[in-house]
Structure 1
Amino acid sequence: MIRPKREKPGAPSFSKFVQLFGLLMTLVYLGLGLFILFADAETLNLNMTKEFKYILGGILILYGVIRFMKVYQTITKKERRRYEE
């Protein structure tokens, strides 16, 4: 059985960067979805109907929430593993 290498406590890791990037992208998707939902047509400068604007904004917000749940699960799973060791 191959065991993964243990990282030194306090050492910066790539997984921490991935977690922070995941949280940042969550904020980007949520912010973009809210912007599309509440921005008027002149601000967006796009030729789209109101219905499409609401659908696109809702999908981006929903994807942001799902992405946050995945990132949160990975962070808490790693924290639980750290406490169990």
Structure 2
Amino acid sequence: MSNLPHTHERLGRPSQSPGLIRYFTLFMAVLYMALGISLWLVPAGMLRLDEMARKLLSGVFVFYGIIRFVRTYQQYFKKNRHEA
């Protein structure tokens, strides 16, 4: 066909051992989930948030932490099917 390089060749291969970055992103995902859980469990008088707003915000933090955790796992820890 054509002699144009593929996208992964033009962009360069990602490093095989991302090292500290993958563990930091996992830590941040767990931190978001912990923040959401702690917001859910904190007594109502400690924060100047309406109870509904506090529970909604805690749900958003937990949901975002789960999304980050799944994306980090898929990107850094899951074996690539094309490499096997």
TM, length-normalised to structure 1? 0.72
- Paired amino acid for 2:21: V
- Identity fraction in percent: 27
Compute the RMSD of aligned alpha carbons.
Answer: 2.5
Change (3 A) 1:6 1:21: closer
Bigger Cα Rg: 2
Change (3 A) 1:21 1:48: same
Deviations 1:51-80 (A, max 9, x none): 00100000000000000110011021xx32
* Deviating 4+ runs (over 2 angstroms): 1-8, 79-84
Q: Structure 1: which 5+ runs fail to align?
A: none
Deviations 1:14-51 (A, max 9, x none): x2211111100011000000000011134xx3211100
Change (3 A) 1:7 1:50: closer
Q: Structure 2: which 5+ runs fail to align?
A: none
In structure 1, what is the equivalent of residue 72 of structure 2?
Answer: 71
In structure 1, what is the equivalent of residue 60 of structure 2?
Answer: 59
